[in-house]
Amino acid sequence: MMIEFDEYKVKLNGLKPKLDELAASLGIERCKEDIERLHAQIESPGFWDNAEVSQKVMKQARQVEAKVERYEKMCSHWEDLMTICEMAIEENDDSMLEELKEGYTALEEEMERERLETLLSGEYDGNNAIVSFQAGAGGTEAQDWAQMLYRMYVRYAERMGFKVREIDLLDGDEAGIKSASILVEGTNAYGLLKSENGVHRLVRVSPFDANARRQTSFAAVEVIPEIADDTKDVDIRPEDIEMQVYRSSGAGGQHINKTSSAVRLIHKPTGIVVSCQTQRDQFQNKETCMRMLRSKLIEIKEREHLDKISDIKGTQLKIEWGSQIRNYVFMPYTLVKDTRTGFETSNINAVMDGDLDGFINAYLTCAATNTWVTKS
């Protein structure tokens, strides 16, 4: 047993330089300077006079403080584990071995999560994410698959401590959903979830087929950053917007269906369509639609390196064979494999329950190193 403690002591000594490297990558010293500057700003006379500015400063301060706190917690964790090693070796006590093993694994996972943050350098990576789902052709089977994906991402968000708010939902004919949109709120929500943008392919024995035949279904997931309304990056002219109102069809009780409160906006120059039906008030739904449209236009403009909004053309993902970014196979074997990174796992139940860390980590690493899998 003592040999194992010696081995863990060596492992911990090997982690120390990585912790120091992480501090440099995360800019911990700069963060500490930022905290002092922000606190001085908060304590200055008249700080609360402008509610909008004060809220932004407070939010920034909380984010920077949280980053430093997470790093310092990892350092403290490392010190605690080293103390356990030294005490066990000195007292020839093997009763703390399980605690040491679990603690070391947890520390490695914490460090990996923080390392990922250093890869989130995109302009909007720190923003909230708007995630939309669209069932492909195939009726009930595809609509059920879209709902399975909806649940998967909600569970992932919950695991990450993010908040999820439903924006729009259109039920399927018999089961599942035809389409839906959710807002995922939390630091780096977009930076993490942007890897999920694309077509997802399911292979399974359909529960809707009386003959228990194997079926292939497709659904599209679109991820865009939520971008503040006050951004100067895009100008949406009122005359370019066609607004349609209709009665909400999703959950929410009878009161939500009494008036035509749901809103659909069509951006005529690009053909982009957004909709929202989860608020009781038509004005609130329109506001949400405008935020979605603005965010979508800016994201496309940045991604396509376009000079102006008029260059954008609304395009639909081809929800079909050959366009998928990931395959989910439930039978004759279980496997989830990403076509871009090559990352795969046979634990399909964990994936459908929101365990997406491996896929997201692989995507961010490939994006940073430009080491994508070449499709044959």
**Model pLDDT, residue 250:** 54
Query: Does residue 150 have a pLDDT over 70?
Result: yes
Assess whether the previous peptide bond of 269 is cis (omega < 30° from 0).
no
**Model pLDDT, residue 230:** 61
**Model pLDDT, residue 256:** 46
Phi (first) and psi of residue 35, to 5 degrees: -60, -45
Q: Where on the phi/psi map is residue 260: left (φ > 0), alpha (ψ -120 to 50), or beta?
A: beta
**Model pLDDT, residue 227:** 86
Phi (first) and psi of residue 306, to 5 degrees: -90, 150
Least confident range from 120-129, 253-262, 281-290: namely 253-262
Least confident range from 21-25, 94-98, 119-123, 237-241: namely 119-123
The contacts of residue 339 (CB under 8 Å, 6+ apart) are: 324, 325, 326, 327, 373, 375
Query: pLDDT category, 83, cuts 50, 70, 90?
Result: very high
Greater pLDDT, 180 or 25: 180
**Model pLDDT, residue 9:** 92
Mean pLDDT for all residues in the chain: 88
Least confident range from 142-156, 173-187, 296-310, 319-333: namely 296-310
Query: Does residue 261 have a pLDDT over 70?
Result: yes
In 43-96, alpha helices (H): 51-91
Query: Does residue 306 have a pLDDT over 80?
Result: no
Q: What is the mean pLDDT of residues 354-375?
A: 88
Q: What is the mean pLDDT of residues 342-350?
A: 97
Contact criterion met (CB below 8 Å) for 227 and 127: yes
Give the position of tokens 């964790």.
77
Query: Does residue 254 have a pLDDT over 50?
Result: no
What angle is formed at CA 281 by the lines to CA 256 and CA 237, rounded to 5 degrees? 130
Query: Does residue 108 have a pLDDT over 80?
Result: yes
% of the chain residues with pLDDT over 70: 91
Least confident range from 84-93, 233-242, 367-376: namely 367-376
- In 3D space, the residue among 15, 1, 21 whose CA is nearest the CA of residue 92 turns out to be 1
Distance, in Å, from the CA atom of 258 to the CA atom of 281, rounded to the nearest integer, reads 11
Q: What is the mean pLDDT of residues 314-330?
A: 80
Query: Does residue 225 have a pLDDT over 70?
Result: yes
Contact criterion met (CB below 8 Å) for 264 and 277: no
Query: pLDDT category, 116, cuts 50, 70, 90?
Result: confident
Query: Does residue 66 have a pLDDT over 60?
Result: yes
Least confident range from 6-15, 25-34, 246-255, 336-345: namely 246-255
Angle between helices 97-119 and 357-369 in degrees, nearest 10: 50
Q: What is the pLDDT of residues 117-148, one digit of tens each?
A: 788 878 889 899 999 999 998 889 999 999 99
Query: Does residue 302 have a pLDDT over 60?
Result: yes
**Model pLDDT, residue 58:** 94
Distance, in Å, from the CA atom of 27 to the CA atom of 35, rounded to the nearest integer, reads 12
Query: Does residue 49 have a pLDDT over 90?
Result: yes
Distance, in Å, from the CA atom of 78 to the CA atom of 76, rounded to the nearest integer, reads 5
Least confident range from 6-10, 13-17, 76-80, 233-237: namely 233-237
**Model pLDDT, residue 257:** 47
Query: pLDDT category, 253, cuts 50, 70, 90?
Result: very low
| Residue type for position 160 | M
Contact criterion met (CB below 8 Å) for 203 and 329: yes
Query: pLDDT category, 252, cuts 50, 70, 90?
Result: very low
Q: Where are the beta strands (DSSP E) in the chain?
A: 129-135, 163-171, 177-185, 198-205, 214-225, 241-246, 262-267, 272-276, 324-329, 335-338, 344-345
- In 3D space, the residue among 318, 313, 275, 306 whose CA is nearest the CA of residue 293 turns out to be 275
**Model pLDDT, residue 135:** 95
Query: Does residue 8 have a pLDDT over 50?
Result: yes
**Model pLDDT, residue 322:** 78
